[in-house]
Amino acid sequence: MFHRLNLVAPLAAVAAMTIAGPAQSAWPEKPITMLVGFKAGGGADTLGRIVAKAITAKHGWKFIIKNKSGAGGGVMAKALLKEKKDGYTVGMAVTDPFGFNTVVKKNIGYGPDDFVYLGSIAKFQMAILAMKEKGWNTLADAMKAAKAKGSISMGSMGLRLTFASRMIARHYGVKIKVVPARGGRGVMNQLLGGHVDIGWGAGIQARYVAAGKMTILASAINEPLKQAPKKKTLVELGMPLLDISGYFIMVGAKGMPAEVTAKMSSAIKEAVASADVQKLVNQRMKLVTEFKGPAALAAIVKNSVVSAKKTMAALKK
């Protein structure tokens, strides 16, 4: 009897491992909800939907898209943390709400380490824009007009850009009235409606620039813009802290199973490399596809925190 009991225990353990293994590897067994941190029709929303479509085509996973706009992605971030940490709810946003905003916004309710950074899809084409009819070709043109008028208005879709606007105003010695908008689509509507003089765009402006309706005045990333490679960067214009590089990313809540994180990250990487995503992002949206995995994205978010602290210190001088 003693020997029979000793055999039963190992066999039961093996059976339990056999049962548990397929249950984990079968994920996902139901639709995945994607919370998009911006309004429908904007750049983040478009990218989230095309990536979900590519993953469905490759793996058969189903997605439910829900838009949770507000606070530059902050509303979505807080909503994501309230969901179960099982990987069945993920977020689609940009890097800023997880890094820069956690420093400059008081009582934000979360920190950079509360999330798992699943993968990036595309890099910002962050630029400063004006309507073509203004007749401005450079940021200096707009700032000259601001001095003549006494002030200028600027559409902004996030805290980082609001602080950048203040840095630009200080650099040129002008007054800039920041007008908040919900996402890049909101800024485009402000410009098209004549509600602001200039505005920020992370990439959604491509169609308006191509159509001759808008002009890019300067690049806000520290490299030539794909949409306007000859335009000077803000760093080149003497503002070293204003390299507003960033990414459109997908995130999960900290606590997601490691296997699920790996599967989702791998699926995003495959989607970014797919022909449909490459065509939409690089050709139609005039963005730049670039996949970075969890570790690389976590490092980028930490650098964003450092940038925020330097910006805050500079504005206090």
What is the rounded distance in angstroms from the CA atom of residue 176 to the CA atom of residue 143?
9
Beta strands in 220-313 (DSSP E): 247-253, 288-289
List pLDDT tens digits, range 213-268.
999 999 999 888 989 999 999 999 999 999 999 999 999 999 999 999 999 999 99
Of the candidates 248, 239, 236, 149, the residue with the CA atom closest to the CA atom of residue 197: 149
Pair type for strands 115-123 and 247-253: antiparallel
Of the candidates 97, 112, 114, the residue with the CA atom closest to the CA atom of residue 158: 97
* Domain spanning 30-123+246-316: CATH 3.40.190.150: yes
Please give the radius of gyration of the chain, using alpha carbons only, rounded to the nearest integer.
Answer: 23
The domain segmentation of the chain, as residue ranges, is: 30-123+246-316, 127-219
| Residue % of the chain over a pLDDT of 90 | 79
Beta strands in 202-281 (DSSP E): 214-219, 247-253
What is the rounded distance in angstroms from the CA atom of residue 170 to the CA atom of residue 176?
9
Model confidence band, residue 72 (pLDDT cutoffs 50, 70, 90): confident
What mean pLDDT do residues 81-107 have? 95
Of the candidates 218, 201, 197, 247, the residue with the CA atom closest to the CA atom of residue 51: 247
Model confidence band, residue 269 (pLDDT cutoffs 50, 70, 90): very high
| Residue % of the chain over a pLDDT of 70 | 92
What is the rounded distance in angstroms from the CA atom of residue 178 to the CA atom of residue 162?
7
Model confidence band, residue 22 (pLDDT cutoffs 50, 70, 90): very low
Residue carrying structure tokens 């994180």: 261
What is the rounded distance in angstroms from the CA atom of residue 39 to the CA atom of residue 271?
22
**In the predicted model, is pLDDT for residue 20 greater than 80?**
no
What is the rounded distance in angstroms from the CA atom of residue 81 to the CA atom of residue 242?
30
List pLDDT tens digits, range 201-217.
998 899 999 999 999 99
**In the predicted model, is pLDDT for residue 43 greater than 90?**
no
> Are 30-123+246-316 and 127-219 equal in CATH topology?
yes
pLDDT value at residue 25: 60
What is the rounded distance in angstroms from the CA atom of residue 246 to the CA atom of residue 273?
19
Say if CB 112 and CB 305 are below 8 A apart. yes
Could you tell me which CATH number the domain at 127-219 has? 3.40.190.10
Of the candidates 120, 43, 95, the residue with the CA atom closest to the CA atom of residue 244: 95
List pLDDT tens digits, range 103-152.
999 889 999 999 999 999 999 899 999 999 999 999 999 999 999 999 99
CA distances from 25 to 10, 99, 121 (A): 23, 32, 25
CA distances from 232 to 159, 283, 302 (A): 23, 22, 27
